[in-house]
């Protein structure tokens, strides 16, 4: 019975990520690549996403502190596209906006949007972590659930 | 609404592993998978591409930079310029690959620069190179195609893109094998020749891939018309012809 509750919780948590616009269909494409032989694929990709993002945000922050906008096309492209496979909808939108401001040489727009990126990313990360946490509990063997 | 949204229990549909290749190809495809070299500096993208390729039954080598790709191929050995002693069929010091798929924007060496280096090499220029990019920029696409890229795919790459590539390059590889004198697929090549206008001897090297594909040979070129390649379609046809 507890298991069913957990299942429901997982489903609701997952659905809310879509309903609230944090994730888009691309995340489902990622889920489709997971199977019994690769049961943790999504979480593995998301973990890499955190790593990529942390590094990227750090690099951009440094670059912005020197110049007030970025002109490195590879970095900009990387920033936008790395959210694709995760389906990180809101973050992606902010990154796209950021790229436009950079290309226009709009320093103030860049700084403002970059703060938004960081905020959206932090929110998404929190949501994803919460989701995988619940999922993890669902995947635990029944015996450990009963003991809770 | 409830249980079937629990992600980790989903299975890949079996059909993903069934090829719709021409009748004779199954024996060859089991013997030799398409080996793809994937180049992308993003951890996420690399992992996803690798998974997509593996699901499509390709052998994958994934690297994070153009330099590493060239090194693996054997193009960055003692000699800067490629010497004729390095041939892809020897696989002497280099990796033998059927297809290279690379991101466009990478630090250090871009996918475009990698493409150029490969096409400048006498041993490796025949390897098809596919460029991936998050943006659909015509100038960028044209530049890559002009430099010899087979195709330009807009990210995020989908499974359908990868299976389409695999089918296409599986057939292309068989043709190249036939050209280099390996008779395994001679029968299929002969069938293709019957379709095309070739009047020369069946095993002659005048069988260039373009004429075979444009004459609707076994490998179903119509499957190449996919939405993600739409901006590139005319250019691709131009390359084929």
Q: What is the CATH number of the domain that holds B137?
A: 3.40.50.2300
Is the separation of the CB atoms in A23 and A93 below 8 Å? no
Residue B211: predicted pLDDT: 34
DSSP A114-132: HHHHHHHHHHHHHHHHHHH
> Within a domain: residue B3?
no
CA atoms of A96 and A80, how far apart (whole Å): 6
In 3D space, the residue among B99, B194, B103, B95 whose CA is nearest the CA of residue B150 turns out to be B99
Determine, yes or no, domain membership for B220. Answer: no
Q: What are phi and psi of B5, to 5 degrees?
A: -95, 5
List all residues of chain B from 90 to 149 with a beta carbon under 8 Å from chain A.
104-107, 110, 133-135
- Other beta carbons within 10 angstroms of residue B32's beta carbon come to 14
∠ Cα B138 B140 B142 (to 5°): 65
Place of tokens 């690769």: A38
Q: At what angle do helices B111-120 and B138-146 cross, to 10 degrees?
A: 20
Position A10 scores a pLDDT of 92
DSSP per position, B78-89: SSSSPPTT--TT
The two three-digit tokens of residue A84, written as one number = 């694709």
Q: Is the Cβ pair A80, B155 closer than 8 Å?
A: no
Residue A84 is nearest to which of B6, B55, B134, comparing CB atoms? B134
Beta-carbon contacts below 8 Å between A and B: 95
Domains of chain A: 3-32+39-138 (1.20.120.160)
Q: Which pLDDT tens digits describe chain B residue by residue (241 residues)? A: 444 434 433 444 444 444 444 444 444 444 578 899 999 999 999 999 999 999 999 999 999 999 999 999 998 864 444 444 444 444 456 788 999 999 998 888 999 999 999 999 998 998 999 999 888 888 989 999 999 999 999 988 999 999 988 888 877 777 777 776 655 455 555 555 555 544 444 443 333 333 333 333 343 333 344 433 433 333 333 333 3
The Cα–Cα gap between A86 and A100 comes to 21
Query: Nearest-CA neighbor of B61 among B94, B26, B85?
Result: B94
Note whether A102 contacts B: Cβ–Cβ < 8 A: no
What pairs with residue B61 in β-bridges? B37
Task: Collect all residues of chain A within an 8 Å Cβ-Cβ radius of residue B47.
Answer: 44-45, 48
B contacts of A85 (beta carbons < 8 Å): 44-45, 48, 156
Which residues in chain B have Cβ-Cβ distances shorter than 8 Å to A4? 2
> Is B160 a domain residue?
yes
Taking CA atoms, B117 is separated from B41, B113, B120, B129, B132, in Å, by: 18, 6, 5, 11, 17
Phi, psi of A21 (to 5 degrees): 80, 15
Contact A36 B41 (CB under 8 A): no
Give the side-chain half-sphere CA count within 13 A for A120: 21
Task: Give the single-character DSSP code of B132.
Answer: E
B230 alpha carbon, distance to own chain's centre: 18
Under 8 Å between Cβ of B130 and B22: no
Residue B17 forms part of a structural domain: no
How far, in Å, CA of A116 to CA of A96, rounded?
Answer: 12
Say if the Cβ atoms of A26 and B156 lie within 8 Å: yes
Are B144 and B115 a contacting pair, CB within 8 Å? yes
Domain around B49: 35-75+92-176
The residues, ordered by sequence, that sit 6+ positions from B99 with a Cβ below 8 Å of its Cβ are B34, B35, B36, B37, B127, B128, B129, B130, B165, B169
In a domain, B82, yes or no: no
- The sheet with strand B99-103 has its strands ordered as B59-63, B35-39, B99-103, B129-133, B151-154
**In this structure, are residues B97 and B127 in contact, taking their beta carbons and an 8 Å threshold?**
yes
Peptide linkage before B156 cis (omega within 30 of 0) = yes
- Structure tokens given for B147: 């430099």
pLDDT at A107: 86
Work out how many domains chain B is built from and give that number.
1
Interchain contact, A86 vs B158, CB within 8 Å = no
What pLDDT shows up at residue B30? 46
Per-residue pLDDT of chain A (148 residues; tens, 9 = 90+): 688 888 999 999 999 999 999 999 999 999 999 998 999 999 999 999 999 899 889 988 888 888 766 767 767 777 877 788 899 999 999 999 998 998 888 888 989 999 999 999 999 999 999 999 999 888 776 655 555 4
Residue B124 counted as domain residue: yes
Helices first, then strands: H and E counts in chain A: 7, 0
Is B67 inside any structural domain?
A: yes
Task: Give the residue ranges of DSSP H helices in A67-106.
Answer: 73-81, 89-104
Asked if A1 reaches chain B (Cβ–Cβ under 8 Å), the answer is no
What is the predicted pLDDT for the residue at B46? 95
What's the pLDDT at B107? Answer: 85
Say what the pLDDT of residue B170 is.
Answer: 79
Segments in chain B forming alpha helices (H): 25-31, 43-55, 66-73, 111-120, 138-146, 159-179, 186-195, 209-214, 233-240
Interface check for B12 against chain A (CB to CB < 8 A): the answer is yes
Q: Report pLDDT for B194.
A: 54
Residue B104 resides in a domain = yes
Q: Do A73 and B105 touch (CB under 8 A)?
A: yes
Q: What integer pLDDT is reported at residue B210 of this predicted model?
A: 37
- Bridge partners of residue B38, in order along the sequence: B62, B101
Per-window interface: A 28-87 vs B, CB < 8 A:
29-36, 38-42, 44-45, 48-49, 51-52, 73-75, 77-78, 80-82, 84-86
């Amino acid at each position: 019975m507890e298991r069913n509750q957990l299942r429901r919780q997982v489903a609701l948590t997952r659905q809310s990520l879509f309903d609230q616009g944090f994730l888009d269909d691309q995340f489902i494409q990622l889920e489709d690549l997971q199977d019994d032989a690769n049961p943790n694929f999504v979480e593995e990709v998301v973990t890499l996403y955190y790593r990529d993002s942390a590094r990227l945000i750090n690099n951009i922050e440094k670059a912005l502190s020197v110049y007030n906008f970025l002109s490195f096309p590879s970095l900009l492209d990387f920033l936008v596209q790395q959210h694709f496979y995760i389906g990180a909808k809101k973050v992606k939108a902010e990154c796209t906006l950021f790229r436009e401001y950079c290309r226009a040489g709009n320093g103030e727009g860049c700084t403002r949007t970059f703060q938004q990126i960081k905020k959206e990313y932090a929110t998404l990360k929190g949501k994803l972590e919460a989701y995988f946490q619940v999922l993890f509990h669902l995947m635990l063997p029944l015996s450990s659930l009963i003991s809770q | 609404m409830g249980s079937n949204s629990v992600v980790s229990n989903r299975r890949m549909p079996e059909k993903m592993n069934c090829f719709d290749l021409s009748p004779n190809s199954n024996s060859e495809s089991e013997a030799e998978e398409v080996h793809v070299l994937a180049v992308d500096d993003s951890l996420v993208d690399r992992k996803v591409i690798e998974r997509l390729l593996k699901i499509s039954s390709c052998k994958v080598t994934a690297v994070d930079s153009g330099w590493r790709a060239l090194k693996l191929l054997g193009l960055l050995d003692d000699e800067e310029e490629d010497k004729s002693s390095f041939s892809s069929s020897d696989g002497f010091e280099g990796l033998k690959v059927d297809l290279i798929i690379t991101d466009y924007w990478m630090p250090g060496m871009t996918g475009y620069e990698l493409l150029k280096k490969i096409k400048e090499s006498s041993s490796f220029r025949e390897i098809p190179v596919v460029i991936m990019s998050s943006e659909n920029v015509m100038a960028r696409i044209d530049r890559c195609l002009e430099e010899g890229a087979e195709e330009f795919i807009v990210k995020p790459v989908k499974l359908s893109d990868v299976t389409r590539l695999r089918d296409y390059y599986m057939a292309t590889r068989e043709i190249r094998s036939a050209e280099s004198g390996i008779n395994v697929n001679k029968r299929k090549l002969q069938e293709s020749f019957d379709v095309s206008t070739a009047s020369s001897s069946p095993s002659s090297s005048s069988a260039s891939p373009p004429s075979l594909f444009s004459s609707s040979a076994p490998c179903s070129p119509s499957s190449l018309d996919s939405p993600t390649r739409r901006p590139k379609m005319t250019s691709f046809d131009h390359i084929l012809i």
